[in-house]
Amino acid sequence: MTALVLDAPGAFHLDHTAPAAPGPGDALVRVHASGICGSDREVYEGNRPEGYVRYPVTPGHEWSGTVEAVGAGAPEALVGRKVVGEGFRNCQVCDRCHAGETTLCTAGYEETGFTRPGAMATTLTLPARLLHPLSDDADLSAAALLEPAACIAAAALKANAQPGQRVAVVGTGTLGMIAVQFLAAVSPAELLVVGTRRDREQLSLDFGATAFLTNDRLDDVRGGFDIVIETAGSAPAARTSAALLRRGGRLVLTGIPAEGTADGLDPTDLVVRQIEVRTVFGAAPDAWAHAVRVFDAGLLTLLPLVTHELPLSDFATAIELVGSGDPKVGKVLLRPA
């Protein structure tokens, strides 16, 4: 197998070794594609918070593939199946895990691609219990986006939007475009998308939005929305999202602003307007199952969000594309094969 190894921030090499046979309860997956997101760039640049990465590491937490082999105790029926998989390596025994809140596992943080070997490699070995089988005709390039889709499924479940409500999405990246699709499915009276990229306007409307506005055109709509999902990952986006809400509205934050920039959400304003704030960091099993069901039913369109597919050897080019700010760059996939 070939694996990309980040030895330290900014330093990487390709490692060539024979894959080990899967141990008890594990599955060996032949990786089809691995997506790159902002958190992978954080790992590359050394900006990820302490405790949330462990070098050397093979990145890759957004992935899809096919099961090649399983270890003792894992279901043999998985062999040959197209799959995606959860990243959080939860302990399964703490109270949070028993409640299904695996991203809050009290045993500590462990995640594929950050503290455990990830999918920027020919093969990936992980506990079979974390796998979610896909339909036989699933497009594996599109399925590589199911990890961000699961995170947005978690946000949608926490938002609990009802038919006829006024809802909004702030941010027009991969997460934002997926959020539009989840919210459109609940038949809102209005679905506004807020962003800086006018090139995303038509795609937003195609995915079910009823309107698209840039940040400088929001004066007439502030304070009128029941639910806002923030996906942009910046402090200004969080402030914009809160300002859009009506009194008693619900805000779901999914982005993580750069350290030292996350000021500006006024607690007095949140309290006086009785804003409910919920957050998402990763996706628990129920959100993963929700995303996979929607995808397998053909109700989630992901492939148009992919703009680049590059070989694993072009990691340096791929990581530059992700951080370029070029509006023509959407989701970048690495193809290990």
- Give tens-digit pLDDT for 274-294: 999 999 999 999 999 999 999
| Mean pLDDT, residues 182-207 taken together | 95
pLDDT for 260: 66
User: Given pLDDT bands bounded at 50, 70 and 90, which one contains residue 323?
Assistant: confident
Summarised one tens digit per residue, pLDDT across range 4-28 is 999 999 999 999 998 889 999 999 9
Q: What is the mean pLDDT of residues 123-129?
A: 98
Q: Which two tokens stand for residue 299?
A: 């109700």
Confidence class for position 81, pLDDT limits 50, 70, 90? very high
Q: For the whole model, what pTM was predicted?
A: 0.95
Distance CA 128, CA 132 (A): 9
**CB contact at 8 A, 224 and 231:** no
For 161-186, give one letter per residue: b (16+ CB within 10 A) or e: beeebbbbbbbbbbbbbbbbbbbbeb
Instruction: Count other C-beta atoms under 10 Å from residue 319's C-beta.
Output: 21
Return mean pLDDT, the chain. 95
CA–CA separation, 76 and 70 (whole Å): 7
pLDDT exceeds 70 at position 233:
yes
Average confidence (pLDDT) over 175-199: 96
